[in-house]
Structure 1
Amino acid sequence: MNASNPDNQQSRDDGVDFFLPNFCHARSVFMVVLVTELLALILSLVRFDEATFWFQLGKYSIIIQWIALLSTALLCMSRPILRRLTDLQAGFISYLLVLIVTLLVTIGAIWVEGTIQGKTPIHLLEHPGLKSNFLVAAILAAIMLRFFYLQSQYRKRIHIAADAKLQALQARIHPHFLFNSMNIIAGLIPTKPELAEKVIEDLSDLFRASLAEHRNQVSLQSEIDLCKRYLGIEQLRLGERLKSQWQIPEQLGSVTIPPLTLQPLIENAIYHGIQPLVDGGLVSIKILIKGNQCEIVIENPLGESQYSPSQGNLSQGNLSQGNNIAVSNIQERLQMLYQDRASLDMQIGNRSCIVTLILPCDET
């Protein structure tokens, strides 16, 4: 086991990087009881005697369960201290605790058995049962601690790889946003230079807010504010052809969302819905909080050239390469952050496109 880095002290204090399972949880205790009972059954079968099988099973079960549950209780109580130590120190102390508990429980069991039989051993430390129990506990404890450590290292590697990929995906969405925003400014410069200057200022403020955010999650309210500013930039380019409507709950609570998730979806609605239409149209954004889920619905009209009833999902939609990349990016990020608890669905029909984004959230 390697000594932990001081830079990881805060995360160890939170129990995130600590290699031992949390034995204070009911699930962990249940697994301990189950595994130790299986061990008692195996030991009884190894020394199988039909006449005494159930007696031996009961005897082993009581002794092993006492050792396991007392060790679990001690590891639970000492967890706040152990997780502040290095992995090597925490592992060594945990190992000693298990061995000490094994010695005490075995000595107690030998004394009780001797008392019942009327022949209490004088030299408890020389009893063969004490040596065998201690040896078995020493081997099994070493194996389990090593297993917990390797499992922890594997989880860390998976987490680091996933976090690196997530950061890469998140970094790719910023240049995409910048590219499309520059196109807006380029379109305004020949005809409306004053507006182009204002857009540059708004874009500067918008990017300052978005690029300053390095976390994987931002508040939904801040994402909404960013999208409203983006819509303001597009409004300058499209004029009265672009209309937007927001339906937002009064209290968004602590709902969070990956940065720049809504903006590419709204951008798609404008570029593939509003812009091709001579008269433009309305982009509707509706946000609903339903228990522990947040549902975001974005709807926009489609012209005849965009409408096709068979194009009912994201991969078949009539999207440009740039926007297709953005949508795929969102899907990948959602999968990495939420697995199956989040979804992004597009339905095309009745000359409209409806995108539904569902995210998990805390109840408010």
Structure 2
Amino acid sequence: MNKSKLTTVLEDAGLSPYQAEAYVTVLELGSASATDVAEESDVPDPRIYDVLRDLEQRGYVETYEQDSLHARAYSPESVLEDLRERADRFEDAAEEIEDRWEAPTMDSHTVSFVKRIDTVLDKAEAKIRAAENQVLVAVSQSQYVRLRDALKDARERGVHVRLAMYAEEDSPHSLPSESELREVATEARYRSIPMPLIALIDRTATCFAPHDLSTNRYGIIVEDRTHAYVFHWFFMAGLWESTEPLFTDDDDSLPRTYVNIRNCIRDIAPLLEDGATIAATVQGLDVDSGTEVTLEGDIVDIDYPSLENVGRDPLFSYLGGQATITVETDDGPIAVGGWGAVIEDFEATRIVIEDVSYD
């Protein structure tokens, strides 16, 4: 690096142009009078004394009297430390700028495209840790390890977690043990075909990235219920249906919780046909206002066009169309739909079957 470039770098590090010129000159001369430093640099004679004293205060040089004012450079150790600290701060700033560019704030963007898959995983982890009701996630085993603690934390808070995992080398034996999976998921499945990374949280947020073998390396972060609904159907029909079960926490004991109204209808339809009284608590949203509501009462009716397929159609849970239960409350009958309800009074986020009895 020549003198001119070194001087420019020192100016970038906080020295004035005259200070940088004088310091580089002192380095070259070793020890010199103020007059000699001024002659070898572009610093005017009247300014050289103030410039050298300023450099002394900053720890770059020391001055001494020898017939006239002289200067010599201090050991560069402190100067080098200062420059390296500045370099580290510049590096940190560069990384922060890159991160902010790749992960713009969700306050101003409903849909964000990012370049780094790590950014998608970071957002998925944060959203899972804040989840209150439901998480659907498809991951590779390395991605699972990254999200495992967040999933475990959500599961301990009572969040319903559906976990689909890609088993490398076409072998389920490389998957985590069932005891570990039960700590992080309500239901877990696997398949040997690579899957994209997808995490859907509380029906409002979606984190997506193509699978590791894809030539496309990007991610999408979406904070929008409508887009989340589309990704939900992709997850259920395109991924979940093609996986093999590892375990499920579902059993016949009561109370029993559902986060999917179609699964609930599948199980209670035969009970209603047999004349059962089904007591339930429904947590959900008012379709008009979006406010959270809790309903308590008996499920007295079901409106589902493909009800006759219960027990026969393997894709029953994933069929579209209307899926409605009617809950008889103290305020009268109330129609409750599932995710994306538009014709019902309420959208159920969680249905708890409290009791089943027969007269």
TM-score bracket, normalised by the shorter chain, equals under 0.3
Decide which structure has greater strand share: 2
Question: Greater CA radius of gyration, 1 or 2?
Answer: 2
TM-score normalised per structure 1: 0.23
Q: TM-score, structure 2 length as denominator?
A: 0.24
